[in-house]
Amino acid sequence: MRNRLFVHRFFRNGMVLGGALTLALLFTCAALAPMLAPYDPLSQNLEQELRGPSFHNPMGRDKLGRDVMSRIVYGSRVSLKVGLITVAISLMAGTLLGATAGYFGGLWDQGLMRIIDILMAFPGILLAMAMMAILGQSLNNVILALCLVSWVSYARLARGQVLTIREREYIIAARALGASSPRIVCLHILPNILTPLVVESTFGMGAAIVGEAGLSFLGLGVQPPTPSWGSMLYEGRQFLIQAPYLTVFPGLAIMTVVLGINFFGDGLRDALDPKLMGRKT
């Protein structure tokens, strides 16, 4: 019954269903790119450079005669990889640091919060650009730079959630029964703070995709000829009048995916809200 209520609340909004379908399409494109892409994304044909959209090339060809649609399909692999790995690492690191800081308090808590305050005082994209300048330009370094920026939001959220439940009766009872601090954190605290963290991770995935696209657009992310939506925007900016499709289609891909992820996160947040668990809709 509870699962039915969750599914009903999750899909009652049409935008949430659209977000779920967008995510499914992203995963499908990334997994089946060789089958879905009509051409090799790296294959050049200078005789067809800047050829507009047609039946054989629905999204046209770029300045090197490469099929734009094929590059967008393969670019979904980069976006999905960056989004998933960045969220996974940031979520685990931020939750661990934030939960332990909130539970134990003291100097560890104060020190961590001051580090978080310092990192949040700067725009995330600037910190990521600085890290890329230090680490060098590669996909793995993009992920590392975004992780160094993204973990702070999960740490703050985890710490705030732990502060609200660490003095509740079942935690006090666990201490009275002699449970160790690691056991209390792992078995009693973490399961009760996962819901807001999971919801936050959906929005973090969209932010990571936008971050990767921004770094690639600035020439600090994925390097050519690897297809990336951000680098495709960068390459097409000089043809805005002559061939606007070079920026329109990658831009639409980024916008659609991020909007879909945000709609999905909104639905997940509403469905998992404990205040609505017993309310009929």
Q: What is the pLDDT of residues 209-246, one digit of tens each?
A: 999 999 999 888 888 888 999 999 999 988 988 899 99
Given a cut of 90, is residue 67 above it in pLDDT?
yes
pLDDT the model gives residue 278: 46
d(CA 128, CA 117): 16
3 state DSSP class of 174: helix
| Per-residue confidence band for 78, with pLDDT thresholds at 50, 70 and 90 | very high
Q: Which residue is listed with tokens 């919060």?
A: 113
Structure tokens belonging to residue 97:
């640091």
Convert the pLDDT of each residue in 167-206 to its tens digit: 888 888 888 888 888 888 888 888 888 888 988 898 899 9
Tell me the H-state helices in the chain: 2-11, 14-31, 33-36, 68-104, 106-120, 124-135, 139-165, 169-176, 181-184, 190-217, 229-236, 245-272
Kindly tell me if the per-residue pLDDT of 274 is higher than 60: no
Confidence class for position 123, pLDDT limits 50, 70, 90? confident
In the chain, what are the domains? 2-38+66-276 (1.10.3720.10)
Q: Helix, strand, or coil here: 166?
A: coil
Residue 6 has pLDDT above 60, yes or no: no
Note the pLDDT of residue 281. Answer: 43
Closest CA to 56 of 65, 77, 64: 65
Range with the lowest mean pLDDT among 11-20, 71-80, 180-189?
A: 11-20
Q: Helix (H, G, I), strand (E, B), or coil: what is residue 15?
A: helix
- pTM of the full structure: 0.87
What's the confidence (pLDDT) of residue 259?
92
Judge contact between 160 and 196, C-beta under 8 A.
Answer: no
Tell me how far apart the 2 most distant CA atoms of the chain are, in Å: 78
Return the closest-CA partner of residue 31 out of 97, 80, 101, 66. Answer: 80
Q: Is 13 exposed, middle or buried (0-12, 13-18, 19+ CB in 10 A)?
A: middle
CB 218 within 8 A of CB 129: yes
Question: Rounded to whole angstroms, how far apart are CA atoms 125 and 207?
Answer: 11
Rounded CA gap, 50 and 231, in Å?
A: 17
Tell me what the mean pLDDT of segment 129-147 comes to. 87
Q: Is the pLDDT of residue 2 over 80?
A: no
Greatest mean pLDDT among 105-109, 128-132, 151-155:
151-155
What pLDDT was estimated at residue 75? 94
Rounded Cα distance between 201 and 274, Å, is 18
Reported residue count of the chain is: 281
Q: What is the mean pLDDT of residues 121-149?
A: 86
Q: What is the pLDDT of residue 254?
A: 95
Q: What value does the mean pLDDT of the chain take?
A: 86
* Calpha distance 245→163 (Å, rounded): 50
- What distance in Å separates the CA atoms of residue 98 and residue 110, rounded to the nearest whole number? 11
